[in-house]
Amino acid sequence: MTQANRREFVTSLAALPVALVDTGRTMQTSILPELLQKSAIELSQAISSKAVSCREVMATYLDHIERINPKVNAIVSLQDRDGLLQNAQERDAQLSRGEYLGWMHGFPHAIKDLSSTKGIRTTRGSPLVDGIPTEDSILAERIKSRGAILIGKTNTPEFGLGSQTYNSVFGTTLNAYDQSRTSGGSSGGAAVSLALRMLPVADGSDMMGSLRNPGAFNNVFGFRPSFGRVPAKGDELYLDQLGYWGAMGRSVSDLAMLMSTIAGPDPRDPLSIEQDPRMFEQPLHGDVRGKRLGWLGDLGGHFASGGSRQRGVVAGTMQPPVGAEPGLAGQPDHHPAPVLGPQPRRLLPPAGVLISGGPMGSGRGGVVRAGPHRGRPGALLRPIPA
């Protein structure tokens, strides 16, 4: 079978139920609901055109979260279902009155648990600051102002410190592809929620890889923007210069749209960048001839690289996350299906498309990389029961 035919074969499986094998047992998983297969932009268009109701979107996502989230512990402080459905109905009523709030109108969204959310428990991963804020962060304000409905928070290590996602309040968030391995961090809850299609898009923060390494570990995009691009209010202006809020998506287009929402100046943050965030809404297509790209390679042997992965070939195959089908959630929305081969199935992200931190657990950032941690050549995947 040629490489092209292998890709076609894997892609064709997206239309069929698949059998997941776990410790000798075979389990059938149904095809993901159509709403969960949509990109965030497609979902936005469906809602704004009234092809689907906000209530139907919310119910579909909550059903999926109820089935999947207990197995990975990505979304925490989940709000009451009846209240969320009522909020979704209110969004439908707003549409009927011509009150469209923005591209996230009716979206279910969970904000990383380092950011304050009015009326929703915020812990920062620590029992020391566990409480219910009386006001929103700038990030939460902006996401809500575009029509999103906050359904809860995404898990994070204590105070966001660490390239993993564990805390004593909610416990550990597990990797979307292999639940015996780390989700990365500190935006692990966000990345896993996104990879498993429990959220259309996700936000996160990054000081030393906290958007990038969980993005790579869970095969989604994590974008650490420039300092001041996404404003944050607070009494401390200097320590916050090390960590920035950013966006995550299953495609660059979805990620850019979330950046158009959360970026832009704010008088409460005197160091925020004075540029119009609508620049992120501009078309991504363009002529790249003459552009220069910075590439660190393996930084003198300090990062995993080499072989077929550097040339853009996926060695081995990548299983979809639990509850998903190949070609739907097994890779970013833009990426072709992985290549089948005789090798054991390994967790190897497509080369050259994921922005991550340094080697697993190092917390180093700023490097485009793909492939497993050096010295640990990938893990056999063990899908968990759906």
Q: What angle do CA 180, 181, 183 make, to 5 degrees?
A: 130
Asked whether residue 159 carries a pLDDT value surpassing 90, the answer given is yes
Asked whether residue 30 carries a pLDDT value surpassing 70, the answer given is no
Q: Quickly tell me which residue has 């100046």 as its tokens.
A: 265
CB 198 within 8 A of CB 154: no
Q: Quickly tell me which residue has 């994590």 as its tokens.
A: 222
Write the CA distances from 252 to 39, 43, 130, 179, integer angstroms. 11, 15, 34, 26
pLDDT in tens, 283-328: 988 888 898 887 777 777 777 655 434 333 233 334 445 544 333 3
Asked whether residue 1 carries a pLDDT value surpassing 70, the answer given is no
**Least trusted range by pLDDT, from 98-107, 114-123, 314-323:** 314-323
pLDDT in tens, 240-287: 778 899 999 999 999 999 999 999 999 999 999 999 999 999 998 888
Q: What is the reported pLDDT for 200?
A: 98
149 residue type, one letter: I
What the block records as the tokens of 295 is 């590439």
- How far apart (Å, rounded) are the C-alpha atoms in residues 224 and 208? 10
Cβ neighbours of residue 315 under 8 Å, at least 6 residues apart?
307, 308, 309, 341, 343, 346, 348
Report, as an integer, the average pLDDT of 134-145.
98
Question: Which domains does the chain possess?
Answer: 3-285+306-368 (3.90.1300.10)
pLDDT in tens, 162-215: 999 999 999 999 999 999 999 999 999 999 999 999 999 999 999 999 999 999
- How far apart (Å, rounded) are the C-alpha atoms in residues 274 and 263? 10
What the block records as the tokens of 361 is 């657990």
- How far apart (Å, rounded) are the C-alpha atoms in residues 192 and 177? 9
Q: What is the reported pLDDT for 321?
A: 52
What the block records as the tokens of 213 is 């390494």
Asked whether residue 376 carries a pLDDT value surpassing 80, the answer given is no
Nearest to 119 by CA among 101, 100, 144, 102: 144
Q: What is the reported pLDDT for 311?
A: 34
pLDDT in tens, 210-224: 999 999 999 999 999
For β-strands 108-112 and 149-154, DSSP reports them as parallel
- The better pLDDT of the pair 253, 384 is held by 253
Report, as an integer, the average pLDDT of 73-95.
98
Asked whether residue 16 carries a pLDDT value surpassing 80, the answer given is no
CB 373 within 8 A of CB 172: no
Supply the mean pLDDT for the chain. Answer: 77
**What is the pTM for the complete model shown?**
0.75
Q: At what angle do helices 40-48 and 252-262 cross, to 10 degrees?
A: 70
Cβ neighbours of residue 112 under 8 Å, at least 6 residues apart?
153, 154, 156, 187, 189, 190, 202, 203, 204, 205
- The better pLDDT of the pair 10, 263 is held by 263
List residues with catalytic annotation: 112, 186, 210
Asked whether residue 22 carries a pLDDT value surpassing 90, the answer given is no
What the block records as the tokens of 77 is 């402080």
Bridge partners for 167 per DSSP: 171
Asked whether residue 140 carries a pLDDT value surpassing 60, the answer given is yes
